[in-house]
Structure 1
Amino acid sequence: MASHKSKKRKTGDANGANHAILDTSRPSAVFVPTKGRPHTLSIALPGSIIANAVTPEQKTALAGQIARACAVFCVDEIIVFNDGQALIRPPERDGYTAFADPNFFLYHVLTFLETPPHLRRTLFPMHADLKLAGALPSLDLPHHLRSDEWCPYREAVTVRQTEDGDGVPGTLLDCGLADRVFVPVLLEQGTRVTVQLGDQASSGSKFIAGEAVSPDAPREEAGYYWGYSVRQSSSLSTVFTESPYDGGYDVSLGTSERGIPVREILQPDNDAFVAPTWQHLLIVLGGVAGLEAAFSADVELKKAGVSEARELFDAWVNLVPAQGSRTIRTEEALWIALANTRSLVEARDAGQ
C-alpha cells in the first residue's frame, strides 16, 4: 500500500514559481448610483404567512428570506397587510408576537433588519421578537456603511442637543463614524435621521457638518438604493388607500395562478404591456389561500362594489404558468415576482 501523502493544494507551478494572486472581488456587487431616481418599487404581502411557520426559528428565518429578496432587488417599500387568515390575539407575557400577531411580528423583524447595525442598539430595545434576528444573514444594504467608508449620506441617531463652535443650537448625531455629526436643528434624542454630510472633519475639527434631509433624498437626489420602508395595513384595500405617495400607485400587479402569464406584461405588442413610464409600481402577493381570500375578508371592498380581487389591479398575473408543485409559497413567489419583473424596473431606470 502506498504511504499517505499530504493533499494540500500546491501554490506554485512545476518550476516552483508562484501564480499571480487572483482578484476575486465583485465590483458589480457594490451599489453605484448614477442619477436621481424618482420612481419606486413596492411589495405587499400578508403577515399570515408567519402563522404557517411552526417554530420561532422558522418564523424568524421566513422574515429573513423576505428581507433578503427585497434587498437584492432594491425594493423601496414593503407593506405587511392583514388578509384575515390568521387569528390575532394579545402578545405573550414577554411581548412575543409571532404566534399572537404575525402581521406585527413580520413588520417588526423587517424593520429591524433594514436598520443599519450601528443604530439598532439605540432604536430597538431588547424584545422577544428580535431574539433570533441577529443570527439572520446580513442584508448589507448600501446604507449599512462601515466606519471607514465615506458616503455623502448616512443614517444616524440623535445623541444630544448642543451648540457648535459659533453658538448655533443644534443636535449631535451618531452616524457610525469616529466623529460626531452636527446638524443645525433641534431634534429629539434617540430619533433616526437621514443626514447629508459636508466635508470630512479635519484633524482639528470638532464635528462633521451635516444637514438633516428626507429619507427619500439619497434616492431622489443621488440615485442610491437606501433600503426599504415598512408599513402595516389593516386590510387589502388599505394597501392602496394608505399609500405614502401622492396619487398612490400608478401601476399595480396582483398575483394569482388564475392570472395571465407574467410574460405578457413584458411584451410591447401585448395589450397587457406595462410601459416604462410608471412612477410607483406595486406588486401584491397572496398568502396560502391567495389574494382571493384577502379580498373576501375585506368588508370595505364589498361596500365599494368591487366584485372580485382582480378588479383591484392593473394586471392580474400568473408568475409560474404550468407550475410543477401544487403550491408556491409566498416567500418563493416573492423571488419569482421580483426576478420576472426586473426588466420593468430596468426599462424604467433607463428612461429616467
Structure 2
Amino acid sequence: MTVSVLVPSSLTREAEDKREATRKLGYVARAATIFRADRLVVYPDGEGERGRFDGGFVETVLRYAATPPYLRNEAWGMRDELEYAGILPPLRAMSQTGSESDGSGSSRQGIVTEVGPEGRVRVNCGLQHPISLNVPPKMEVEEGERVTVRISSRRPVRAKLEDVPLPGLSIERTDLQAALGREDAGVRIAASRFGAELTVGRLETLAGRRERDGMTVAFGAPERGLPDILGMDEDTVDALSRWDGDDGDGVEPTADPGFDLWLNTVPDQGSEVVRTEEALFASLAPLSLRE
C-alpha cells in the first residue's frame, strides 16, 4: 500500500523571497512525513512559476529536507538553493521509514564513500565512522551513491547492504499523468474546493480503498488550483465530482487527466484561501483514518 502526494512546481509562486519559499517547502515535507507518505512528487506547472523559485528549486529543497541530517553535508555541500536550509523544520521520521532510526534492526540511508576490492565498500550511515560492508550479489554501487543499510546491532556494529529502495520519503519529479498512471497509484484524488465535499460516509468508503490499494492525492498552487493548472472550468470539475460511472450523470472521465475523485477536503473553509501546505495537513489527516 503506497501513499503518494503530488504538488506543482509552482508551489512557491507567492513567496516573497527565498527564505519564505524554503519555509513553505519545509512544511510540505513535514506534512508528507507526518502522514507517512511514501512519495512526494513535483509535477510541472511552468505557466504558474514565478521568478527563480521554479521546479528545480522546489525539488532541490524537498530532496534536502528528506535527506537524513547525518548525510546532508556529504550529500549536498554548498548550493545556492539551500541558502536558508537551516530554517527547515526537522522531519524526525519514525523508524518505520528509517531516516532517523537509531535502534537495532532498523534500515537507514548511507552514502558510499569508497569502493574497494573484492566487492567491499565503505559507507557513511551516520555511525561514528564509515563502515566496511560487502556488496550483495548482482548489486552495483558507485562512490557517492546512496544505499540502504540494515543495522542489526550497534555494539558491536553489525550491518549489511540491502538491494532495496532507500528508506524514508522519496522525492520525485515527473508529470502529473505519469504519476497518476503508476500501477501503485491506488485511489487517485484531486484536492479542490470545487470537488465533492468530504463527508463521513464518503470517508468510510475511501478508507477501505486506501487500505487495500493505496492512495495518490494531488494539490494545486497558491491562487492556481488544479482546475487552473489543468485548464478545466468549474462546471467540468463539478460534473466530474458527480460522475458515478453508472448512470452517466455529469461528464465522462475522459475530460479528466486520470483522477478517480475530485474532493473538497475543507468543505466549509473560513478563509478565502487555503494555502497548499495547509491543504496538505487538512486533507491527509482525514484521508489517513482507518475503517
TM-score under structure 2 length normalisation: 0.80
Aligned-pair CA distance for 1:101: 4.8
Which residue type is aligned with residue 316 of structure 1?
A: W
Residue pair 1:292, 1:308 contacting (<8 A) in 2 also: no
The answer as to whether partners of 2:27 and 2:277 remain within 8 angstroms in 1 is yes
- Of 278, 287, 290, the residue aligned with 2:212 is 278
Of the three residues 322, 329, 349, the one matched with 2:268 is 322
Q: Distance in 2 between matches of 1:152 and 1:238?
A: 32
Q: What does 1:75-90 correspond to in 2, within 5 Å?
A: 75-87=37-49
> Which structure has the larger Rg?
1
1:102 corresponding residue in structure 2: 54
Query: SS at the partner of 1:85?
Result: helix
Which residue is 1:239 aligned to?
179
1:266 aligns with 2:206: no
Q: How is 1:1-352 mapped onto 2 (pairs within 5 angstroms)? A: 39-87=1-49, 99-142=51-94, 143-145=98-100, 149-162=103-116, 168-185=118-135, 187-200=141-154, 202=156, 208-215=158-165, 226-234=167-175, 236-241=176-181, 243=182, 247-263=183-199, 264-268=201-205, 274-287=208-221, 288-296=223-231, 308-309=255-256, 312-343=258-289, 346-347=290-291
Describe the SS at the equivalent of 1:320: coil
Following TM superposition, by how much is the alpha carbon of 1:238 offset from its aligned partner in structure 2, in angstroms? 3.0
| Residue 201 (structure 1) shift | 5.4
Q: Once the 2 structures are TM-superposed, how far is the Cα of residue 285 of structure 1 from its aligned partner? A: 0.9
Q: TM-score under structure 1 normalisation? A: 0.67
Per-residue deviation, 1:75: 1.0
Render the CA deviation track for 1:256-298: whole Å, top value 9, x for unaligned: 2221111242135xxx77535533310011122211112129x
- For the Cα contact (< 8 Å) 2:2–2:185, is it kept in 1? no
Q: Is the 8 A contact 1:47 1:106 kept in 2?
A: yes
* Distance in structure 2 (CA, Å) of the matches to 1:156 and 1:237: 32
State the Cα RMSD in Å. 2.6
Instruction: Give the CA deviation at 1:129.
Output: 0.5
Q: Provide the C-alpha distance between the structure 1 equivalents of 2:35 and 2:187, rounded to a whole number of angstroms.
A: 18
Letter in 2 for 1:197: I
CA–CA distance in structure 2, aligned partners of residues 44 and 139 of structure 1: 18
2:236 corresponding residue in structure 1: none
Is the contact between residue 251 and residue 278 of structure 1 (CA under 8 Å) also seen in structure 2? no
**Number of paired residues?**
263
CA contact (8 A) 2:105 2:152 kept: no
Indicate conservation of the 8 Å contact 1:196/1:213, yes or no: no
Rate the CA distance shift 1:179–1:51 in 2: closer, same or farther, 3 A.
same
What is the distance in 2 between the residues matched to 1:325 and 1:152?
43
Percent of paired sites with the same residue: 27
Offset, 1:151 = 4.2
The AA in structure 2 aligned to 1:285 is F
Pair 1:291–1:274, CA change in 2 (3 A): farther
Structure 2 CA distance for partners of 1:152 and 1:181, relative to 1, 3 Å: farther
- The equivalent of 1:32 in structure 2 is none
Q: Is the 8 A contact 1:105 1:129 kept in 2?
A: yes
- Inter-CA distance 159–276: structure 2 relative to 1 (3 Å threshold): closer
